[in-house]
Structure 1
Amino acid sequence: MGSIKQDIKETYLGLYETAQEKCSDFSQFLREAWPILAILLVVLLGVWWYADPPPPRHVVMATGQPGGSYDNLGKKYAAFFDKKGITLELVPTKGAEENVAHLVDRKDPVQAAFVQAGAFNPHEVTGVESLGTISYDPIWLFYRGPEIKVDDFQAIKARASFFLNSRMSVGLKGSGTYAQAMHILKANGFEEGAHFLNLSSTHSVEALQKGEIDAAFIVDAYEAPNVQKLLKDPKLHLVAFDRADAYVRLLPYMQILNVPAGAFSLTRNFPPRDIKLMASTTNLLIDDRMHPALQFLFLEAAREINGKASFFAEHGEFPSFKSTGLIQSPVALHYEKNGSPLLMLYFPFWLAELINRLVFVLLPFCAVAYPVLLTLPGYRNKRMKRKIDQLYGTLKGYEQELTENFLPEVKDEYLKRLDLLEYQALQLKVSKSMSGDYYALRASIDYVRNCLNRGAHPYQSQENDVGV
């Protein structure tokens, strides 16, 4: 029993002494290597700041017309960013054309925007990348008067002629509604008519309900207030795109949305039959210089806000990374395959970003610094060995003088020199691996001192002295 206690005690003492020795060696290492460590720290801070700067705390985003669905969506994104400690400033615009112009201008502060697919020419846009599509934008064509029922091509052509000769709003020029209306008209071989009006979505709804116009194109989400007003108005009718498959072939960015009979209103049985609607998609576009951390934040906002199930979209369908029309951001490609960085799932945004930046900088830094740090103990030992060798050299010089030119009257002077030499040796702070050299030096100094104290000529035997 006693032996076990003794073993535990000895083990504890051994661990304690080892830890104490390591702490002593480390503190000595810091005292000797602090200039090199300071230089490495400055380099690290420089790389950290310039190679991977922190994300800005303020971002500007272009949305759409005040009161529209993009304006409301932007407010949801701003609330999400606010929870993450980032200010998202919203800039209302007339529509897609203005939003793209903001992003293309390299001096413009706008860094993100909602833009409908098909509302711009991707080949004319530079410096802009896509974070994917975030929602469907159905193309609604509402009209007043008797319902037009068509089943063949001639009837479809007659219906088109009716709309071309009517007072119809095709949206504000530069808006996504206007762009989609023009695409559909041109696909049917028609140009903008003289009776067409360029009204905003809100004004189009008011004018159509008051009977001031006969028809209106609206490109907006099913849940949008403007769309809901028109769907609930029994005096208005909705045009179905019976040749939706053909439109998709001609306009590849288009999507087909299937609406079952009665889906909009079971009491009215509206629509009275299964119909197909055409839809564009909302692209989340960014300036390609946007900080990657902010891009991940936009994608997380899209997943939380736009990823919910809706009338046309299934849960988790958005953000989608197909048919965006522009080059996808590398961050979006990473997000599509791997999702958000693991740190963002468990830490606040600012802390996750700080850790990510530290890892990003520290890994390559350590690849350079680690070999340097490994050489420091060897460098320290060589430096200490050089000091010991210098003291040995001084001692050798004293011994040479004692052998060749010894004078009894200077004995005390030599002893003082040896005392000073031993004092210099005592000032050396050596590691455990250098202890043998250190104590060998001390023993050598003591040996020379003993020889000096032996007699009149310390390096000759008494017999030699007598013979002389």
Structure 2
Amino acid sequence: MASFKENIQESFLGLSEAVQETWADFAQFLREAWPLLLGLLFILMGIWWYADPPPPRHVSLATGSAGGSYEALGKKYVQFFAKKGVTLELVSTNGAQENLDRLIDRHDPVQAAFVQAGVAHPKTIKGIQTLGAISYDPIWFFYRGPEVKQSDFEVVNGRSKFFAQKTISVGVEGSGTHAQAMRILNVSGLDRDLKFVYLPGKQAVKAVQAGEIDGAFIVDEFEAPNVQALLNDPNIHLVTFKRAAAFAKLIPYMHILDVPEGSFSLQRNYPSTDTTMLATTTNLLIDDRMHPAIQFLFLEAAREINGKGSFFAKRGDFPSFQDSLLPESPVAVHYEKNKYPLLATYFPFWLAELINRLVFIFLPFCAIAYPLLQSLPSFRTRRMYSKISRLYGILKTYEQDLLMNFSPERREEYLKKLDLLEYETLKLKVSQRLSGE
């Protein structure tokens, strides 16, 4: 009876021989079927290239008016994309409505845009998807003059004690500021009790500081120059939304921001009490035909740039996918659950994308092509039998020649022919199953 050690050795020897035979058979298969495999690979590569073309190296992003905060944000995205080898072109526009119009236009080169939530009407928008919200946009309502009591802002039957017949800037028509201001005024019932002017941000700041108008809506981040200019002006005050919770109920995309006493200025103790503000969000909208790899790049840029903490947002709050009014991109849904593909952590963007795309062609190729070719009816058997039959045919010819025309003087010639046939036979490689033939 063999010892345990001998049994182990025999098992490993058998396994090693089986692996060697399988590998030899596979190598022989490649030598025989490589033209067919190569043809199949070219077909699959063509399908792959057509169905999933490589990501573009140039992308256009609509921001907003030149010199605005969206343009400043866009420049940060440009730097991020440049590190990944992609050129991001910023396109200045007149505001959110133009951004939407350009995204909807299937012939416009703009593929992405910053648009405030609430500007788009989901039922009328087609061909646009969202990559989520990337920041808060507080709604600031500044007024000029002495600071008044909160009760003076209350609206009764569409009239306000303080703002009756006052002139208010509600932003340029088509801009995000105009959309948010009019929505709030409509819900409040104040849209018939005020005089409206439609000034861009910088002009509105100058006009309210100069006393040319009584108030101005500005929808922008806390750090924006226009917002800071009015917050630091002692003659300008901020309307706080006492009924912020009610606005948030009536306007689904609105958020409530808590502002502790003295947060804007400890020296002035401004605001003088804990207050609440309303805010919308900036959404990153895309043409739904955008390449998935570029979408991942935008999402990663949003995480790196907008995911940092700010005055109103905590670190990691953005990008956010909780309150989107437009259809979410499937890439954004995947990103929310899985974050960026693992390969991008270790390889440059283009190399990671190439590897990722190649995996999707080679894995199906290896999983399907090899078993398929092996299962082709008598493909390999016919080729091997053909080789063996050719040798037997040559041998049969020699045999007939010897029987019919044997000559002792040609003995050396016969031996040379047999040696050559033996050499060709030794070079012939067949599968283990047919080696006996």
Return the TM-score normalized by structure 1.
0.81
1:426 equivalenced with 2:416 (yes/no): no
Q: How does 1:158-197 map to 2 (within 5 A)?
A: 160=160, 162-191=162-191, 195-197=195-197
Secondary structure of 1:427's aligned partner = helix
Q: CA deviation at 1:192?
A: 5.7
Q: Which runs of 5+ in 1 are unaligned?
A: 1-17, 441-468
* Residue identity matched to 1:151: S
Report what 1:215 is aligned to.
215
* Residue identity matched to 2:424: Q
Q: How does 1:261-340 map to 2 (within 5 A)?
A: 261-340=261-340
Q: 1:111 to 1:274 in 2, by over 3 A?
A: same
Q: 1:161 to 1:58 in 2, by over 3 A?
A: farther
In structure 1, distance between residues paired with 2:335 and 2:405: 88
Q: CA deviation at 1:348?
A: 1.1
Q: 1:126 to 1:257 in 2, by over 3 A?
A: same
1:48 equivalenced with 2:45 (yes/no): no
* Residue identity matched to 2:82: D
Root-mean-square deviation (CA, aligned residues, Å) is: 3.3
- 1:138–1:221 contact (8 Å) kept in structure 2: yes
1:247 equivalenced with 2:243 (yes/no): no
* Residue identity matched to 1:358: L
Q: 1:146 to 1:362 in 2, by over 3 A?
A: same
Q: CA deviation at 1:267?
A: 1.3
- % same residue: 59
- 1:182–1:192 contact (8 Å) kept in structure 2: no
Q: CA deviation at 1:431?
A: 2.3
* Residue identity matched to 2:428: V
1:113 equivalenced with 2:105 (yes/no): no
Secondary structure of 1:82's aligned partner = helix
In structure 2, distance between residues paired with 1:326 and 1:381: 59
In structure 1, distance between residues paired with 2:68 and 2:155: 34
Q: CA deviation at 1:285?
A: 0.4
Secondary structure of 1:56's aligned partner = coil
Q: CA deviation at 1:33?
A: 3.3
Q: How does 1:2-401 map to 2 (within 5 A)?
A: 32-151=32-151, 160=160, 162-191=162-191, 195-372=195-372, 374=374, 379-380=379-380, 382-393=382-393, 395=395
The more displaced of 224-233 and 429-438 is: 429-438
Q: 1:230 to 1:421 in 2, by over 3 A?
A: same
Secondary structure of 2:49's aligned partner = helix
Q: 1:267 to 1:167 in 2, by over 3 A?
A: same
In structure 1, distance between residues paired with 2:204 and 2:383: 85
Q: CA deviation at 1:103?
A: 0.7
Q: Report the number of matched residues.
A: 420
* Residue identity matched to 1:67: G
- CA deviation string 1:252-295 (max 9, x = no partner): 11001111111111111111111111111001100111111111
In structure 2, distance between residues paired with 1:288 and 1:368: 32
- 1:384–1:430 contact (8 Å) kept in structure 2: no
Q: CA deviation at 1:29?
A: 5.8
Q: 1:374 to 1:267 in 2, by over 3 A?
A: same
- 1:47–1:361 contact (8 Å) kept in structure 2: no
Return the TM-score normalized by structure 2.
0.86
The more displaced of 55-64 and 203-212 is: 203-212
- 2:155–2:190 contact (8 Å) kept in structure 1: no
- 1:306–1:318 contact (8 Å) kept in structure 2: yes
Q: CA deviation at 1:390?
A: 4.1
Secondary structure of 2:263's aligned partner = coil
Q: 1:333 to 1:57 in 2, by over 3 A?
A: same
In structure 2, distance between residues paired with 1:49 and 1:158: 61
- CA deviation string 1:385-436 (max 9, x = no partner): 333234435645776798xxx6677677899678646634532432275699
In structure 2, distance between residues paired with 1:240 and 1:436: 89
Q: 1:305 to 1:382 in 2, by over 3 A?
A: same
Q: 1:436 to 1:245 in 2, by over 3 A?
A: closer
- CA deviation string 1:410-463 (max 9, x = no partner): 67789967864663453243227569968x8xxxxxxxxxxxxxxxxxxxxxxx
The more displaced of 385-394 and 164-173 is: 385-394
* Residue identity matched to 1:423: L
Q: 1:391 to 1:149 in 2, by over 3 A?
A: same
Structure number, greater radius of gyration = 1
Q: 1:159 to 1:263 in 2, by over 3 A?
A: farther
* Greater percentage in helix: 1
In structure 2, distance between residues paired with 1:381 and 1:342: 44
* Residue identity matched to 1:139: I
Q: 1:242 to 1:387 in 2, by over 3 A?
A: same
Q: 1:109 to 1:407 in 2, by over 3 A?
A: closer
- CA deviation string 1:302-329 (max 9, x = no partner): 0111111111100100000011110101
Q: CA deviation at 1:213?
A: 1.1
Q: 1:364 to 1:23 in 2, by over 3 A?
A: closer
In structure 2, distance between residues paired with 1:75 and 1:351: 25
Report what 2:12 is aligned to.
none
Q: CA deviation at 1:383?
A: 2.1
Secondary structure of 1:110's aligned partner = coil
In structure 2, distance between residues paired with 1:63 and 1:186: 27
Q: Which runs of 5+ in 2 are unaligned?
A: 1-17
Q: CA deviation at 1:46?
A: 1.3
Report what 2:5 is aligned to.
none
In structure 1, distance between residues paired with 2:387 and 2:418: 12
In structure 1, distance between residues paired with 2:154 and 2:391: 111
The more displaced of 31-40 and 387-396 is: 387-396
Q: 1:349 to 1:390 in 2, by over 3 A?
A: closer
Report what 1:448 is aligned to.
none
